[in-house]
Amino acid sequence: MTKVTRRALLGTMATAPALSVIGMPFIARAAEIELKYGNNLPLSHPLNVRSHEAAEIIKQKTNGRIEIKIFPNNQLGGDTDMLSQVRSGGITFFTPSALVIATLVPVAAINAVGFAFADYDQVWKAMDGTLGAHVRAAISKVNLYAFEKVWDNGFRQMTTSGKAIETAKEMAGLKIRVPVSPLSLSMFKALDSSPVSLQFSEVYTSLQTKVVDAQENPLPIIQVAKLYEVQKSCAISNHIWDGFWFIANGRAWNGLSEPDRKIVADAINEAGVKQRDDIRKLNATVQTDLEAKGLAFNKTNPDSFRAKLRDAGFYKEWKEKFGAEAWGLLEDSVGKLA
């Protein structure tokens, strides 16, 4: 066998076409298993920062056998598109908001019951406990795998290009964008507003062109999506806590060996816990940043919204839709609602 010296190899590389030089190390380290992950957020969001870290850990712990390729910022389509792709196996992972996956698994929206959670202690008690386990079991029935730790999307706040929202009465007739979610539509209709379901990728343009006058999202989303450029005021309403379920195509997930599943799950769940802390820290500073960019903030009266929802039969309706078991698990963490 001819011995190839390091000098000879370097000489060959120096004279090879550029594409070959670039391709050689890639081919030498090509992953055996390539997994695609799509999401709707910019690279700067903590979800993508921590996802990238998890992907690197997985690559290292599998000696390069498993590589997760991340496609952020709606590169693979809107939420509905990516939910369809993760179901079909076109992508392996997706992180839909609970409101998005609820179009497929209705009980997943239970964390988004209006004004249910008072604080994060109640949120994590429910989602890391029996309520979260109940939702994961429901997700598994549609051939998707939901990782144990829900990632944080934060408490949602309402912004508007017009009059500031302080009580439930300011909601009357308000054209507000909401996710493609029956629960969100129901809640805002119960508040007498005029909700419009749009993909997240359409929000900025719809606000800019006045298709809608208002929207609701967590502060970090408002910041990274630059919604402050097309909105005037922000009401700190904390009306919904929303999370991202990190889900996998069931067939692809079960196709991994048990040791590989443990490596991937451990990395993703640990990253999710870190991302929660990132959002907590981010929330402490993001309001100041948004105020500096011209967005005016005001407090709200949550009791007026709860009273309106109760009077409109919203809580009673959704208790019946989610079922006594799921509703009971929610109230175990937050207290009586209906």
DSSP symbol at 75: T
- Calpha distance 213→195 (Å, rounded): 10
pLDDT at residue 84, rounded to an integer: 97
Tokens, residue 114: 């209006």
Which is more confidently placed, 301 or 171?
171
* Range with lowest mean pLDDT among 1-10, 181-190, 268-277: 1-10
Segment 123-138 mean pLDDT: 98
Identify the pLDDT of residue 118: 86
Q: For the chain, what percent of residues have pLDDT higher than 90?
A: 80
Query: How crowded is residue 7: how many other Cβ atoms within 10 Å of its Cβ?
Result: 8
Radius of gyration in angstroms for the set of CA atoms belonging to the chain, rounded to a whole number: 23
In this structure, what token pair is assigned to residue 174? Answer: 């308000």
Statement: the pTM of the whole predicted model exceeds 0.85: no
Average pLDDT, the chain: 90
Beta carbons of 237 and 157 less than 8 angstroms apart: yes
pLDDT in tens, 219-229: 988 998 999 99
* Beta-bridge partner residues of 152: 243
- Model confidence band, residue 338 (pLDDT cutoffs 50, 70, 90): confident
202 Cβ contact list (under 8 Å, min separation 6): 78
Write down the H helix ranges in the chain: 6-15, 18-28, 46-61, 79-88, 98-101, 120-127, 130-140, 182-190, 203-208, 219-224, 250-255, 258-292, 302-311, 314-322, 324-334
pLDDT at site 15: 38
pLDDT tens column, 1-56: 444 443 443 343 333 333 333 343 433 468 999 999 999 998 989 999 999 999 99
Q: Tell me: domain 32-329, CATH 3.40.190.170, correct?
A: yes
